[in-house]
Amino acid sequence: MSHLIEDLQFTFGEGPCVDAYRLDAVVAEPDLADPVTRRWSAFTLPVLEAGVRAVFGFPLRAGAVRVGALNLYREMPGPLTGDQHADALVVAEVVARWVLEAQAGAPADRVAEWLEEGADFHFAVHNAAGIVSVQEGISVTEAFIRLRAHAFSADRLLADVARDVIARALRL
């Protein structure tokens, strides 16, 4: 389930982690089916269909340095309790400090390798954006936007579209 939620946020460029990172603030939607504020037009329906009713994003930061966001979700609607919210803040702080401390004491290029182990950082999407950039003579940023637009219009995950571009089964 978490992989799907992360893929949807990456594909659509919206969701609790995207907002938590951009806004540098906790983002909570305790009931996706009946939100207080409608904000994720593309993300919400597929997440609801996957059985998720509540989502929460916490920025990962140490002081003024932001390194990402922590995503929490559950199948039942409702806000986090005070203790759950406090625990999530602690976990987010611990993870952010670990990333920064690991970077500070690691040999060159090791932190990226450690973080990559067991994670999916969408390398295929970045590779596909480079391919589209060269094919179309456009910037990598515009190629990424075109990949995302194609995925959205085809109702597919961005990672799946990227794999097709890399395999030369799709040309944008």
| Between 112 and 48, residue with greater pLDDT | 48
Q: Give me the CATH topology for the region 2-116.
A: Beta-Lactamase (3.30.450)
- Candidate from 72-76, 108-112, 158-162 with smallest mean pLDDT: 108-112
What is the percent of the chain with per-residue pLDDT over 90, rounded to a whole number?
Answer: 51
Amino acid 115: pLDDT: 59
User: Among the listed ranges 28-37, 84-93, 116-125, which one has the minimum average pLDDT value?
Assistant: 116-125
- CA nearest to 40, candidates 52, 172, 119, 1: 52
110 pLDDT higher than 70: no
CA 111-116-121 angle, 5° bins: 120
What CATH fold (topology level) applies to the domain 123-166?
Arc Repressor Mutant, subunit A (1.10.10)
Residue ranges of the domains in the chain? 2-116, 123-166
- pLDDT of 18 strictly over 80: yes
Q: What are the Cα distances from residue 33, in Å, to 28, 29, 38, 46, 133?
A: 13, 10, 10, 11, 38
C-alpha distances in Å from residue 150, one per residue of 25, 123, 153, 160, 172: 30, 18, 5, 11, 8
Examine the pLDDT at 5 and tell me if it is beyond 70: yes
Distance of alpha carbon 64 from alpha carbon 61, whole angstroms: 7
Cα separation of 170 and 84, whole Å?
Answer: 44
pLDDT value, residue 144: 86
Distance of CA 92 to the CA centre of its chain: 15
Tokens describing residue 78: 């409702």
Query: pLDDT digit string (tens) for 115-141?
Result: 555 555 577 787 888 889 889 998 888
Judged against a pLDDT cut of 60, whether residue 89 lies above it is answered with: yes
Q: What single letter denotes the amino acid at residue 165?
A: V
